[in-house]
Amino acid sequence: MSEAQNQTFKAEIKQLLDILIHSLYKEKEIFLRELVSNASDALTRLQFEMLTNDKVVNPEAELGIYLEAKKPEEGEEGDSWLIIKDTGIGMTAEELARNLGTIAQSGAREFLGKLREHGDNQPDINDVIGQFGVGFYSVFMAANEVKVISRSYNPEAEAAMWISDGGDTFRIEAAEKVDRGTEIHIKLRADSAEFADVWQLKQIVKKHSDFVAFPVYVDGEQANQQESLWRKRPADVEDEAYTSFYQMMTMDFEPPVSTIHFSSDAPLNLRSLLFIPAKREKMMFHKRQEPGPMLYCKNVLIQEYTPDLLPKWLHFVDGVVDSEDVPLNVSRESVQNTRIMRQLGKTIKRRVIREVKKLLEDEEKQEAFWGEFGRYFKEGLAMAFEDRDDIMPLLRFKSSKSDGKLISLETYIGRMQEGQDKIYYVTGDNLASAENSPHLDPLKERDIEVLYLVDAYDMYMSPSLRDYEEKQFQNVADADLGLPENEAEDAAEDAEDTATDESFDGLVARFKDVLGERVIDVVPSKVLSGSPYRLVAGEGEAQAGVSRLQRFVDQDFEIPKRTLELNRKHAMVNNIINLMGQEGQEELVNLSIEQLFDSALLQEGLHPNPAEIVPRMQRMIELATQA
């Protein structure tokens, strides 16, 4: 590099500079965060390079970031300067022009691209800090001249300098610099002289860059905590530190509901700091949009997202996993498949499950937690049946005896009735429809508890509910419930069996006539007590839960056929029988039968279009209110 060259910024940068300088940030100080984050990126990249290459300039140099302030002497006129140095990867003249002259060519992006060239089988290194920042150019919010002097890690390369006043052009010149890394000399605007104040600088570093993985020195003194929080002993970390780390990592507004900080040295080296967020939905500015914790090895970020570390049904967990045992120079596939990774995953999973259990046992937190993340476990059971032993104990349900609280299967089994050998559940579109389900009649009579499955994820999960601790799950909507004997009911049944009731037979015939093909059969119920009717699936028919799910997803949903059971002791049923015996009530009888059937479908969550019922309702009211 012999001659200085004047080069023009790409149009997009000019725009960006304009916005930055004139309006964007009220908080000018964030430029410092951007520069420190770039320095930290450069150090991370150097570290990564040094894993495989020892032919770098100054291999022994401390990996650090150094801020120096220069103010004019008391009483003297002059400019204030801020200098930021790092001992990172550095840039050649070409790299300076490319990285600081165009946005599209941002070095971090190119670095990622280079990794991808290796066929997606290199670990990603991508520091998250400042991901949403505007990067290097934000320096012009505070500067009216910037010089970037850099010396690449590559021994062959020469030092070079980039200079600009934030106008339309920049210049590249040869430079003197013997040590590796980058120095940014910032001539501060008059209105930004505060950035040459050491105390101010320390505050800003603490505020925005406290957990940067390299030491940040201000005037020779380290200003950030630097030690990765996850490498500290839990006893030495204050709660606020966890929260601020979490919020810096994710940009989540809310603090996490659980912080899981643990370490082990044998059989595996592991330092881990994981979080359970308060909410499932991620806000727009959430920094971590993909699942899976960050994977570090000896403080080097190996993978920004490591989804395979935890099963999918724990993907709401985020954080950092750091292990010195992770092999570095292997392809991505083999990172996933190594024994070490499996072992790491197993350890972490166990620890997370323990924490989830704790949340679920916490009276105050369980409801909110289950509301946010319960669906992960339900989906997990449906998708990852092999994980059932892990998932089943975590499932929570409301039930006919839980007083609106959530209970575990363990609790359910613990209070089963004598002679009961099944776990009963009822499905419904919501809690109210489950609570009022006619299928509960025979269980109420026996004082047997019934679990409520009331959301779409419950429906999705229900086919996977087979057994737990050798107790079969039983949908109460099935015809045969395998209930323990009940004397009162048996007596009633016997009585009914012997009594031939012509009028009831007539009613059944009328029902069959009106409903025709829409039902498999109409029969007197052997189980109903308080409810007038119920629909039951025939042998081998899809369960109500599955049908209900189809109703949600299938446009051409066909109502599954059911057997209609009628409770001959119920007043409503007897009223219809009476009505049948009266002149001129034909229409009301037929409408009642139609309405009764539609109501049964509604209660089962099987009605394809409830709005259709309204005109009939109106006609019935008209008839019922006739003088």
Q: Tell the smallest beta-carbon distance from residue 390 to ligand ADP (Å).
A: 39
Binding residues vs Mg ion (CB under 5 A): 38, 130, 135
Does position 374 interact with ligand ADP (CB under 6 A)? The reply is: no
For Mg ion, the closer of residues 114 and 357 by Cβ is 114
Tell me how many helices (H) and strands (E) the chain has.
20, 22
Which residues are bridge partners to 67 per DSSP?
84, 218
Give 135 or 292: the residue with its C-beta nearer to Mg ion: 135
Residue written as token pair 């590249």? 172
Residue from the set 89, 320, 454, 566 that interacts with ligand ADP by CB under 6 A: 89
Q: Which of residues 174-213 bind ligand ADP (CB under 6 A)?
A: 182
Q: 571-580 vs 502-515: helix axis angle to the nearest 10?
A: 90
**550 lines the binding site for ligand ADP (CB under 6 A):** no
DSSP string, 254-321: SPPSEEEEEEE-SSS-EEEEEEE-S-SSPPTT-S--S-S-EEEETTEEEES--GGGS-GGGTT-EEEE
Per rule CB under 6 A, count of chain residues that contact ligand ADP: 17
Q: How far is the CB of 214 from ligand ADP (least distance, A)?
A: 12
Nearer to ligand ADP, 153 or 533 (CB): 153
Residues 133-152 within binding reach of ligand ADP (CB under 6 A): 135-136
Q: For residue 495, what are the contacts with CB-CB under 8 A and spacing of at least 6?
A: none
Structure tokens of 543? Answer: 């369960």
Residues 438-475, buried b or exposed e (16+ Cβ, 10 A)? Answer: bbbbbbeebebbbbbbbbebbbbbbebbeebeebebbb
Structural contact between residues 376 and 315, judged by C-beta atoms closer than 8 angstroms: yes
CB of 42 to ligand ADP, least distance (A): 3
Q: Does 64 bind ligand ADP (CB under 6 A)?
A: no
Kindly state the smallest distance separating residue 130's Cβ from Mg ion, in Å.
5
The neighbour count for residue 545, using CB atoms within 10 Å, is: 24
> 33, 47, 64, 88: which one contacts ligand ADP (CB under 6 A)?
88
Least Cβ distance, residue 85 to ligand ADP (angstroms): 9
Work out whether 101 is an interface residue with ligand ADP (CB under 6 A).
no
Q: Which of 444, 371, 431 is nearest to 404 (CA)?
A: 431
Instruction: Tell me the closest approach of the beta carbon of residue 78 to ligand ADP, in angstroms.
Output: 26
Question: What part of residues 298-317 is at the interface with ligand ADP (CB under 6 A)?
Answer: none
Closest among 567, 592, 570 to 580, alpha carbons compared: 592
Backbone angles phi, psi at 382, to 5 degrees: -70, -35
CB 166 within 8 A of CB 143: yes
Using the minimum distance from each CB to ligand ADP, give the nearer residue, 63 or 440.
63
The DSSP H or E segment spanning 519 is strand 519-524
100 binds, among ligand ADP, Mg ion, none (CB under 5 to 8 A by kind): ligand ADP
Q: Which residue has the tokens 């012999």?
A: 2
Which of 57, 93, 100, 434 touches ligand ADP by CB under 6 A? 100
- Cα–Cα dist 574/568, whole Å: 7
C-alpha distances (whole Å) from 395 to each of 49, 67, 215, 381 are 46, 53, 45, 9
Rounded to the nearest whole angstrom, what is the least distance from the CB of residue 339 to ligand ADP in the complex? 36
Give the nearer residue to Mg ion in terms of CB position, either 142 or 483: 142
Specify the amino acid at residue 458.
D
Q: Select the binding partner of residue 429 from ligand ADP, Mg ion, none (C-beta < 5 to 8 A, by kind).
A: none
Residue 86, contacted partner among Mg ion, ligand ADP, none, CB below 5-8 A by kind: ligand ADP
Contact positions with ligand ADP (CB under 6 A) in 20-59: 34, 38-39, 41-42
Asked if 161 is part of the footprint of ligand ADP (rule: CB under 6 A), the reply reads: no
The single residue among 20, 67, 80, 107 that binds ligand ADP, judged by CB under 6 A, is 107
> CA 376 to CA 317: how far, in whole Å?
11
68 binds ligand ADP (CB under 6 A): no
Tell me the backbone φ, ψ of residue 338, rounded to 5 degrees: -65, 155
Options 13-21, 103-111, 409-417, 460-468: segment touching ligand ADP (CB under 6 A): 103-111
Distance of closest approach, residue 103 Cβ to ligand ADP, in angstroms: 7
Total Cβ atoms within 10 A of residue 72: 13
Helix, strand and coil percent figures for the chain, each rounded to 5: 45, 20, 40
User: Which CB atom, from 152 or from 603, has the smaller least distance to ligand ADP?
Assistant: 152
Nearer to ligand ADP, 62 or 494 (CB): 62
106: contact with ligand ADP by CB under 6 A: yes
Residue number, 20 or 514, with CB nearest to ligand ADP: 20
Q: Which is nearer to Mg ion, 216 or 596 (CB)?
A: 216
Map the footprint of ligand ADP across residues 222-261, applying CB under 6 A: none
> Does 508 interact with ligand ADP (rule: CB under 6 A)?
no
Token digits for 100? 């600081």
- Euclidean distance between CA atoms 498 and 45, whole angstroms: 87
Residue placing its CB nearer to Mg ion in the complex, 9 or 533: 9
Binding site for ligand ADP (CB under 6 A): 34, 38-39, 41-42, 86, 88-89, 91, 99-100, 106-108, 135-136, 182
